[in-house]
Amino acid sequence: MSAPAMIRVGVDVGGTFTDLAALDERGERRAVLKVPSTPDDPSRAIERALAELLTREALAPSAIGYLGHGTTVCVNAVLEGKGARTGLVTTRGMRDLLELRRQTRDHLYDLQADKPLPLVPRRLRLEVPERMLFDGSVHEPLDERAAAGAIETLAAEGVEAIAIAFLHAYANPAHERAVKALAARRPHLYVSASSDVLAEFREYERLSTTVLNAYVGPVMNRYLAELEERVKRLALPVRPHILLSNGGVATLAHARERPVFTMASGPSAGVTGAVFVARRAGIADIVGFDMGGTSTDVCLVERGVPAVATEKRYHGHPVKGAMLDVHSIGAGGGSIAWVDPGGFVRVGPASAGADPGPACYGRGGVEPTVSDANLVLGRLGASARLAGTVTLDPRRAETAIGDRVARRLGRPVAETAATIVAVVDAAMAGAVRLAAVARGADPRAFTLVAYGGAGPMHAGAVARQLGIRRVLVPPDPGVLCALGLIVSDLKTELSRTRLARLDRLSATALDAAFRELEDDARRWAERAGFRAVDMRLARAVEMRHARQNHELAVAAPRRLGRDGLRRLERDFHAAHRRAFGYAAPAEPVETVTLRVTATIPVEAPSLPALTRSGGTLPDARTATRRVWFARTGFVACPIYARTKLPRGARLRGPAVVEQLDATTVIEPGDLTHVDKYGNILITVNAR
């Protein structure tokens, strides 16, 4: 008799629900479940979900072989201003850089725009005499006595964390390392040095990223300690892993050192899951469309590769580093509808969250939300139990919309609910359009992969607005982020600034710089408990024309030589043409940053094919109810149970498909097909 297969578990913590997916190594789906999130302590919801998994599936704790999770701890700490009291040690004359920032404005003609307050107040930003030049040579030696005094002063001020950021430390980290060693004598301090966090030029972005890393570091440490304690209480024989913003998982030790790179942890998990299910369906070009309780996250994926960004802002503070290019807007099922002074309906960004939640949850919420509007319009069923536990109250939804929005507009409640849905659909369509057009892509050439608890409910309308012809709804759309955590590879990104004209750079020197990064990657793999021979390495060079300010990433071959440099230049011009519509081969090209991506692939289980065969639908149909659609108004609409839809089933909209974790709305005129893996494939405006 063969040994029982080990279970891989992914847990994604969202603003409203915490989702869990579990698969065994043979690819049999063991469980999916949702529990309410606990924003005051996210690890509490994780423990509850894991305990429920063990009980429901009658599993021994020893059956769990892997636990990956996505977290919003760091991003919430920044958005809510609840990070650690942080101090900064920097080069003499540079302490105000954190406040001066860049002089660019998000809105050019808004002269009254307020910039966010620095995360470190001026009196906690201390300077020490030292100076490196851009080539790494020492211009002024470090005054270690002054550095020790700065550490002493900050400790006396009661800081929990210290950021160290010196000019040109990316070229020579010696001074930062010396100060870090001084700070290490006080083990209660969390210390973050810029050369450890981001060894790249652009002083302000490197400083901001390092300060953010220090600001969230103690918060992350406390959270991970609590999580590890809860895992121990459940007697699980695993060390949890955490998802990074680049779409790869990391050990908790890595996350403790660089918590700033978990800021987009949850959304990145969804993208990984979307790529996984789309690849199985034979689809390479997709737009991930994740609509949850508080936000909608969108990511473009071309030829199976998610778009990557090198900088994002969180509450106005830039974070630099490789991360999946996920566009987020404040539009989710819990987003609150309101009327602006001009009498127009707005939705979000404020959300009812998990507590109290939408008015229809009956937990004390009184604000009208997108979920309330969907319930009034029949798109959500009154008999539905969200996540198997939350019952919906249509009267509370009608009251909230009527009192807070419809009365101000002088319109009926149903018409107002339809307006709320139309507004949020338009906002999400705009986000998808932006994600595609910003990459020079036409959204009509992509498949919309809809997931999150609310994504499948709105995907058809969003696709129609954009001219997208196909929508894919995975078997468990409400927990796809959790599935993504199961199939994510272990990954890290290493980078180093190398400013040089390409025509003056030797292939030997460039190759040597890459090999140094690859040696660092091998040490990373060994610290994580893996063999370096199991690691895949990929090189990339961020390049630009001389006098440009922004770079484009170009894949670099493992062996360069003169042909390799010429290929880099050709590929850069091609990338420039794709991104900006033109190329300038006569202009000199320069390298800016070298990147190495190190990946340790996981043996991801594959979900089994759907066993329910046949094309009849009567057994899957559960009811008929009045449902509102933009083109028809209210119509009698068939309701189907997702768990009973047979393989190969075809149905034409209007229709609604319900399941534990999501509801799929099929618009009138759309044609639906259930493929062999249980995906719902929707052809929009099918003839």
Give a yes or no: residue 317 inside a domain.
Answer: no
Residue 572 is predicted with a pLDDT of 94
pLDDT at residue 267 in the model:
87
Range of the domain at 104: 81-216
- Tens-place pLDDT, residues 271-293: 999 999 999 999 999 999 999 88
Q: Are 35 and 93 in contact (CB under 8 A)?
A: no
Indicate whether 251 belongs to any domain: yes
Q: Based on the domain organization, do 137 and 103 belong to the same domain?
A: yes
Tokens at 651, concatenated = 């149905």
On whether residue 447 sits in a domain, the answer given is no
Selection from 611, 491, 603 nearest residue 8 by Cα: 603
Residues 6+ positions from 281 with CB-CB distance below 8 Å? 472, 675, 677, 679, 681
- 151/241 same-domain check: no
Half-sphere exposure of 516 (CA within 13 A, CB side): 10
Domain assignment of residue 607, yes or no: no
Q: What is the mean pLDDT of residues 110-123?
A: 86
The yes-or-no verdict on residue 687 having pLDDT over 70 is no
Contact (Cβ atoms closer than 8 angstroms) between residue 250 and residue 244 = yes
Average pLDDT taken over every residue of the chain: 90
Residues 148, 125, single domain; the answer is: yes
Query: What is the reported pLDDT for 285?
Result: 95
Q: Amino acid identity, residue 100?
A: L
At which of 185, 216, 247 does a domain end? 216
Count: domains in the chain? 5
DSSP code, position 109: T
568 in the same domain as 501: yes
| pLDDT tens, position by position, 544-553 | 998 888 889 9
- 551/647 same-domain check: no
115 and 190 co-located in one domain: yes
Reply yes or no on whether the pLDDT at 326 is more than 80: yes
Q: What is the CATH number of the domain that holds 255?
A: 3.30.420.40
Q: Is the pLDDT of residue 1 over 50?
A: no
60 three-state secondary structure: coil
Q: Over the stretch 442-490, which tens digit does the pLDDT of each residue have?
A: 999 999 999 998 999 999 999 999 999 999 999 999 899 999 999 999 9
* Average pLDDT of the residues in 494-518: 91
3-class DSSP state of 257:
helix
For residue 107, the tally of other CB atoms under 10 A from its CB is 8
Tokens 């105000």 locate to 96
Exposed / middle / buried, residue 457 (Cβ in 10 Å: 0-12, 13-18, 19+): buried
Gap between the Cα atoms of 358 and 351, Å rounded: 9
Question: Does a structural domain hold residue 179?
Answer: yes
Each residue's pLDDT tens digit, 32-91: 888 888 888 899 999 999 999 999 998 999 999 999 999 988 988 888 889 999 999 999
CATH code at 516? 3.30.1490
What does the pLDDT look like over 578-621, one tens digit per residue?
Answer: 888 899 999 999 999 999 999 998 877 777 677 666 556 788 89
Contact 375, 397 (CB under 8 A): yes
Query: Does residue 96 belong to any structural domain of this protein?
Result: yes
**pTM for the full model?**
0.89
Provide, rounded to the nearest whole percent, the portion of the chain with pLDDT above 70.
96
CA-based nearest residue to 263, from 207, 183, 209, 337? 209
- Final residue of a domain: which of 189, 216, 243? 216
Could you tell me if 210 and 226 lie in one domain?
no
Q: Measured between alpha carbons, how far is 365 from 360 in angstroms, rounded to an integer?
A: 8
Amino acid 103: pLDDT: 76
Half-sphere exposure for 600 (CA within 13 Å, toward CB): 19
Q: Model confidence over 620-673: pLDDT tens digits?
A: 899 999 999 999 999 999 999 998 898 888 999 899 999 988 999 999 999 999
Mean pLDDT of 189-210: 94
One domain, residues 501 and 585 = yes
Residue-level pLDDT at 665: 96
Residue 362 is assigned to a structural domain of this protein? yes
Q: How confident is the model at residue 2 (pLDDT cuts 50, 70, 90)?
A: very low
Same domain for 549 and 532: yes
Domain end point (choices 179, 199, 216): 216
The whole-number pLDDT of residue 113 equals: 75
Taking each helix axis from N to C terminus, what angle separates 480-487 and 265-280, rounded to the nearest 10 degrees? 80
586/636 same-domain check: no
DSSP state of 87: E
537 and 643 together in one domain = no
The answer to the question of residue 461 being in a domain is no
Specify whether 71 is located in the same domain as 122.
no
Cα angle 590-596-598, degrees, rounded to a multiple of 5: 165
pLDDT at 549: 84
Q: Using the predicted structure, report yes or no on whether residue 239 has a pLDDT greater than 50.
A: yes
